[in-house]
Structure 1
Amino acid sequence: MTDRGVQLGTVQETLLIPLYGRAVENRKPEPALRDPRAEEMVEAITEAIDYDFARFDGLPSLFGSVLRTSLFDRWIRDFLVAHPDGTVVEIGTGLNTRYERTDNGRARWFELDLPDVIELRRTFFTDTARRQMIAASVTAEEWAADVAGGADGPYFFSAEAVLPYLDEPEVRHVVDLIAERFPGSLLALDTAGPGVVDTQDTHDALSKVEARIQWSCPDPAALERWRPGTRLLASHTLTTLPPELYDSLPGAYQEMLTSLAAQRLSKVEDYRLSLLRLTSRISQP
């Protein structure tokens, strides 16, 4: 996407989908989450480049992105309850406003994304003593040194709608990098199985952008075998959310998810949200 001062690469453009999802959700009388900043950013981007957000109107994936964000928010809140002075690292932060929703006033935050995204992000956010943006690829190693040198652990890494766009060797490299530099850290990520990857050309949202998912992961439990000692702490589809999150949703959303679960659509069941605890021990061939 390129126009009048705002330039984003093919994959980076996908950050506008969850941004718009949160903006749309914020307008509802009974939302799954509140995010007034998302509305402000959508309005500003629309005025700056006349981006066609309306092409995403009514798409089920908008609500799916809100549910994913809500679950990641809950995991981070739980982490900060247990570790009030911990460090949160948002990989592929995009235009997320998780800090505004979940910060406890004590934690250290790093927000990592590619340089073009950070350039756009800096038009809406500024660094503070506890919050720092890093312009780098997640596959590079320099950002890890910045995080390790800038804050003590424990660490929570959030990779929301990022890793599926890498190929598997790149994903393995990222997991190894985090595990080696930050052993014992938590990693929240989403994975897409064949039911998503093989149908993305007709996907309600992905079909409207150029980016394509590269990494197919049928079962997140496989990540435990990448590094012995790594533990899969939780793994959910959008229709099997934790009870505490499901119970907090408006009744209409609960009914929608119950109906969707009964259909057992591969596009839904093959997309998972998972939480890992990483180890520094490397598996032997």
Structure 2
Amino acid sequence: MADKITAQLGGAEETLFIPLAARARETGKRHPLLSDPRAVELVQSIDLPVGKYDRGRGSVVMVLRTALFDAWVRSFLDTHPHGTVVEIGTGLNTRFDRVDNGTVHWFDLDLPDTIALRRRFFADTDRRHSLAASVLDDDWMDRVATSPGPYLFVAEAVLVYLPEDDVRRTLTRIAHRFPDAGIALDTYSRRMMRMQHNRVEAAGLDARWGWACDDPRALESLGLRLVESTTIARPPQPLRRRLPLGYRITLPLLHQFLLRIGAFRVALLHTRPHPDGPGA
């Protein structure tokens, strides 16, 4: 493509190209775990050094994580087809394109520079809206609250870049404002944080993690209830049945390895219902 778009992003925002490149590479495989032609289109349209964001075998981990989050969103929509999904730190994620059921209401939330880049490729509709704001702001919650519930908040590979106090404050605010809502997120151990700091220095990236969580159950003190906690190598059964044979063979070993090293987990949590019931 002759005229590619130049992206000017901050250090943490720049990491959005890592999962984007991973999804594009996976899509090109003969038997992809996840097919994302929009990711291929975006990689071809943006002027970026793809090699800088090549994580080798780590790309498979990111694709597995994304596929598991997709499965949770689809499960939510199976039960609540007219509900609202909020993608926190959306980057250049194309999850809406992969899971849209024709009735879901959707918000893509990210910082203004990232949303400006997204708007080069994605247009708002009557069901899908971009929100240019920090997750630490308050106004975006007011906008989301105008959309019909129930709500599912998806935060894939984003909260880890915030300081712990900001993560706890954000989750507490969501729990207070949106009773009986779902929150899907990933947590990374202190050991993983130390490893990540070494990797980003070697790769020349300016995006250090700020939050470590060795056990997602610790988040229940914020007004949340842990529904599910697993590794990316233990996806829900419907997704597991659709995996290519090679993945089905190797995932049990990967699951045991991730448990042994205490690397990271994906967690599905629920905010607690309002004590006075809905609408109180």
Other-structure match for 1:212: 208
Q: Deviations over 1:7-60 (max 9, x none)?
A: 1110001110110111001101100111000000001113xxxx2112344612
Other-structure match for 2:13: 12
Maintained 8 Å contact 2:180/2:274: no
Maintained 8 Å contact 2:5/2:46: no
Question: Residue 86 of structure 1: which of 70, 76, 83 is its match?
Answer: 83
Other-structure match for 2:263: 270
Are 1:252 and 2:253 matched, yes or no? no
**What aligned pairs does 1:1-285 form with structure 2 within 5 A after superposition?**
5-46=6-47, 51-57=48-54, 59-149=56-146, 151-203=147-199, 207-208=202-203, 209-227=205-223, 230-264=224-258, 269-279=262-272
Q: What is the rounded CA distance, in whole Å, between the counterparts of 2:172 and 2:257 in structure 1?
A: 37
Aligned residues: 271
TM-score (norm 1): 0.89
Maintained 8 Å contact 1:156/1:187: yes
Q: Deviations over 1:180-210 (max 9, x none)?
A: 111111000011111211111344x785222
Amino acid in structure 1 at the alignment position of 2:30: P
Q: Give the superposition deviation at 1:147.
A: 0.9
Maintained 8 Å contact 1:90/1:159: yes
Q: Give the superposition deviation at 1:120.
A: 0.4
Amino acid in structure 2 at the alignment position of 1:39: V
SS of aligned partner of 2:15? helix
Q: What is the rounded CA distance, in whole Å, between the counterparts of 1:206 and 1:71 in structure 2?
A: 29
TM-score (norm 2): 0.90
The gaps in structure 2 that reach 5 residues or longer are 276-280
Q: What is the rounded CA distance, in whole Å, between the counterparts of 1:40 and 1:122 in structure 2?
A: 14
Q: What is the rounded CA distance, in whole Å, between the counterparts of 1:280 and 1:141 in structure 2?
A: 21
Q: What is the rounded CA distance, in whole Å, between the counterparts of 1:116 and 1:55 in structure 2?
A: 21
Q: What is the rounded CA distance, in whole Å, between the counterparts of 1:225 and 1:38 in structure 2?
A: 37
Q: Deviations over 1:201-234 (max 9, x none)?
A: 344x78522201110100001111222xx21111
Give the aligned CA root-mean-square deviation in angstroms.
2.1
Amino acid in structure 1 at the alignment position of 2:196: Q
